[in-house]
Amino acid sequence: MKRLKSILGYSWAALALPIAIATFAGLNFWGHQLVAKTGLKVTPWYSGGETVGTVLHPRYSATIHRPVFDGLVCEYSRGFVQIDWTPAKGEKLPERIDEEIDFDGDGKIDVRVQLEAAKLTAEATPKNEAVEGLEGVYSLHDGAVAVRIKLRNLKSEAK
């Protein structure tokens, strides 16, 4: 009986090892399948929100995301808007980018961003009362750089 238990124990350990390896190897696949089947979405607090516009330049493009105030139950009083600068294929971002951004689509400039891409530093000059300043500068994939601008939710303050 003792020998049978040993054989079963070692057999289980030998079978569990390939299962564990296969599980970790397929983790990305299973995660994508779970999201695809259930309709889950990555929170805009992580992804930056949906894209609302793109400004094309000869060497790069600026992608403007929607303002994010999303909460679990209601909107937060503070949020952000994210702008991504992506170099054109085979290019690098210019050392200095100076861009005026209209993130709410009303035709008026909301913020002026002066970005030094190589140093990952930026300045944000508010042109709209909702803009509170710079939240952060982030390096993204393939030489892209993102800037998040802190915002006040004027809609929630009006209530």
DSSP calls for 5-59: HHHHHHHHHHHHHHHHHHHHHTHHHHHHHHHHHHT----HHHH---EEEEEE-SS
Q: What is the pTM of this model?
A: 0.75
DSSP calls for 91-108: ----SEEEEEE--SSSSS
How many other C-beta atoms are found inside a 10 Å radius of the C-beta of residue 143? 14
pLDDT computed for residue 78 by the predictor: 93
Q: How far apart are CA 155 and CA 121, in angstroms?
A: 30
Maximum alpha-carbon separation in the chain: 82
pLDDT in tens, 90-138: 889 999 999 999 998 888 999 999 999 889 999 999 999 999 999 999 9
pLDDT in tens, 40-49: 777 888 888 8
Answer whether residue 35 shows pLDDT above 80: no
Region 21-38: mean pLDDT is 77
Strand, coil or helix: what is 115?
strand
Name the band, by pLDDT with cuts 50, 70 and 90, for residue 157. Answer: low
Region 58-75: mean pLDDT is 91
Residues of the chain above pLDDT 70, percent: 97
Beta bridge partners of 80: 68, 150
All residues at 6 or more sequence positions from 1 whose CB lies less than 8 Å from its CB, including other chains: none
- 81 or 1, higher pLDDT: 81
- Report which of 76, 12, 13 is spatially closest to residue 43, judged by C-alpha positions: 76
Of 23-37, 64-78, 82-96, which range is least confident?
23-37
